[in-house]
Amino acid sequence: MLVVDDDYLVRRGFISMMPWKDHGLEVVGEAGNGRKALEFLQERPVDLVVTDLAMPVMTGIELMRQAKERFPDVHAVVLTFHQDFDLIQEALRLGALDYITKVELEDERMDDVLRRISRRLREAIAAKALRSEAAEEAVSMRKLQEVGERWAAPDWVTSDCAFREALEETARLRLSAAQTERLFYVAAERWKRLYGSRSVLESPPGGREWSEWERWLACVRADVRSFIDPQPYSAEVKASILRAVDYIKHGMQGELLLPEVAKRVHMSRSYFSRCFRDIVGKTFNEYVREVRVEHAKVLLRQTNKTIGWVATQSGYPNEKYFCKVFRELTGVLPSEYRKREKPVASL
């Protein structure tokens, strides 16, 4: 700790009379005004500054204000030999942990004073450490979310540069084995919706070494590209179509119109229609219908909701039309599908 007071005799007496070591404290410096104290802190940071308030050159209040900006890890306690409550209140607003008055020292309550200050200092340091850990965790979570979004986008499949950047960005995070597994479990579920339940997606490494995940990601990429690379289109066009597929998967409950989806991926209507059919293997409308019906199948198997509710959740607000489309693609009505596929609960 650093003791700051413009009266040399008061300063020396205060330093010599207090049982600092009994409370885990050590005086490592002293200063006669705020400016000298800042110079000391610049050379040798400390945990605690005990400062008088009324001093020439630079007051204790100004010292606290500047120290708070320049040395945020330093805490302060006010040393006051007069009851100037306005100054004390200002010091407390600036973050002072406590204040020591002349009366307390005259009454030989030094142990009580130091015990209180020591406790508050430990509490302040612990609280700051918790806030720092929380802030670091928040930053880590944000970075994890950002890299997750990068893997969710289709660019890493179609672009060598995007794939390399995604690998490098993920490696820089130095994720734990559990974090890495969670990241790519979520990503793989999304890839299944985009590219189908491919066998390579069912066997992630689950190991602790990042190199294992790199090899797995390369295999996933090669497998996905095996069915889109034969098409004579640029990587940019293929990435746009994959983004359209992703948008369809996540927007199936709303209205999906080819011109709007084409505009969303920055392609003309006619060119988008042709590219979509060639790359996906189905027309835009056929693919939308299949996605919606597959989603409806899941809801019919896993819920007891009405057919009307299932229709709406699958993007068909008209139940009658939904039943017609469902029957065209599956050969049965939704109610018949549910009876056939949903397991009967045991009694």
Residue type for position 224: V
Radius of gyration of the chain (CA): 34
- Answer yes or no: is pLDDT of 71 > 80: yes
Residue 45 · residue 74 · CB < 8 Å? yes
In this structure, the dihedral spanned by the alpha carbons of residues 233, 234, 236 and 241, taken in order and rounded to 10 degrees, is 10
248 versus 105: which is more confidently predicted? Answer: 248
Residue 87 · residue 53 · CB < 8 Å? yes
Share of the chain above pLDDT 90, in %: 30
Q: Give the model's pLDDT for residue 309.
A: 95
Classified as helix, coil or strand, 77 is strand
Query: Rounded mean pLDDT of 68-85?
Result: 82
- Answer yes or no: is pLDDT of 347 > 70: no
- Answer yes or no: is pLDDT of 292 > 70: yes
Q: Give the model's pLDDT for residue 228.
A: 66
Ramachandran region of residue 108, left (φ > 0), alpha (ψ -120 to 50) or beta?
left
Long-range contacts of 290-293 (CB under 8 A, 24+ apart): 290/329, 291/248, 291/249, 291/252, 292/252, 292/316, 292/325, 293/325, 293/326, 293/329, 293/330
Q: What is the pLDDT of residues 325-342, one digit of tens each?
A: 999 999 999 999 998 876
Query: Rounded mean pLDDT of 33-48?
Result: 92
224 versus 312: which is more confidently predicted? Answer: 312
Could you give the CA distance from residue 298 to residue 64 in angstroms, rounded to a whole number? 63
Q: What is the pLDDT of residues 183-222, one digit of tens each?
A: 888 888 778 777 776 778 877 886 668 888 998 999 988 8
Residue 82 · residue 102 · CB < 8 Å? yes
Query: Rounded mean pLDDT of 13-20?
Result: 87
Residue 234 · residue 242 · CB < 8 Å? no
Q: Give the model's pLDDT for residue 346.
A: 36
pTM: 0.47
Query: Rounded mean pLDDT of 52-70?
Result: 90
> pLDDT grade, residue 320 (50/70/90)?
very high
Q: Give the model's pLDDT for residue 340.
A: 86
Q: Give the model's pLDDT for residue 345.
A: 43
- Mean of per-residue pLDDT scores for the chain: 84
Classified as helix, coil or strand, 277 is helix
